[in-house]
Chain A
């Protein structure tokens, strides 16, 4: 029997004889505590600090690269300048009064207006 197991059993015997025992107990109770104790502390040493900055910068660069490739590739810019003057004349419909024609006997042209 190994030493740790023997100590555990002696502890159980003493607890039972003293009537200070729980009805049940996890088998991995001690290993859970030892895991916590052996967990490396997260102190802010120089290495950890540098590592955090490096990972943040790497993440930022990758993000910028992805954004750049996604946003710029799909935009199709017009080859002509947007400041170019519009050459065709505009027609202000609101201000223009057109003459009406009496179309009694004559054939109505497609553009002519009928007098009321």
Chain B
């Protein structure tokens, strides 16, 4: 299984530490969201996610590329979250929490005021959803297959009945449209 992150991870392992920022930027939103399902608090979720990224970095030389890097990072983040719950439990409640018992959906969470120096992801999500829905069908399909369903280019090529080169070019075009829609939300950086 070819991991898209392998070239970057190889560079990090060979001493180019600064490249780890690419990994963090790529997965930060999903990892914080995962940790939030357990911690139920955004500041705590960020703290746990930070710990997970640091743990992954410190154990990177043990990663054997037998699975995707994100799956490995996901597992580390779950372990960190469970450790967090257990440490909280000792002081608060004596309730056994299984791996999935902390999982909740966003739907129940009321709109929270965005703190200073933070991205309002809800606003970004609304924008992305509307732009995604207005995309031409062929672009929408490649985005769905690659970014939502996590399919390989070979699998995408079989489903869309298009050559891999065309798939890649369509995907690039679709991502460009979507990221451009988010640019104004990160202009102050």
User: Residues of A with Cβ closer than 8 Å to B?
Assistant: 1, 3-34, 36-38
| Contact of B9 with A by CB under 8 A | no
Nearest-neighbour CB distance to chain B for A39, whole angstroms, equals 11
Q: Are B33's CB and A20's CB within 8 A?
A: yes
Count of A-B residue pairs with CB < 8 Å = 145
Give 17 A-B pairs besides A1-B179, A18-B30 with Cβ atoms closer than 8 angstroms: A5-B186, A8-B28, A9-B182, A10-B175, A12-B182, A13-B182, A20-B34, A21-B29, A21-B30, A21-B124, A22-B33, A23-B111, A24-B120, A24-B122, A26-B119, A27-B189, A29-B28
Q: Are A16's CB and B121's CB within 8 A?
A: yes
Chain B binding site: helix, strand, loop or mixed by DSSP?
A: helix
Closest to A2 in B: B189
Chain A residues within an 8 Å CB radius of B54: 33, 36-37
Q: Are A29's CB and B143's CB within 8 A?
A: no
* A-B residue pairs in contact (CB < 8 Å), sample of 11: A5-B186, A9-B186, A15-B29, A15-B30, A20-B30, A21-B30, A22-B33, A24-B114, A27-B119, A27-B189, A33-B53
Nearest-neighbour CB distance to chain B for A18, whole angstroms, equals 6
Q: Are A11's CB and B121's CB within 8 A?
A: no
| Contact of B137 with A by CB under 8 A | no
* Top 10 A-B residue pairs of the complex, sorted by shortest distance between their CB atoms: A15-B29, A8-B25, A9-B179, A30-B24, A24-B118, A11-B26, A20-B30, A16-B128, A16-B125, A13-B178
Render B22-51 as a binary contact track against A, CB cut-off 8 A, 1 for contact: 101111111011101000001001100110
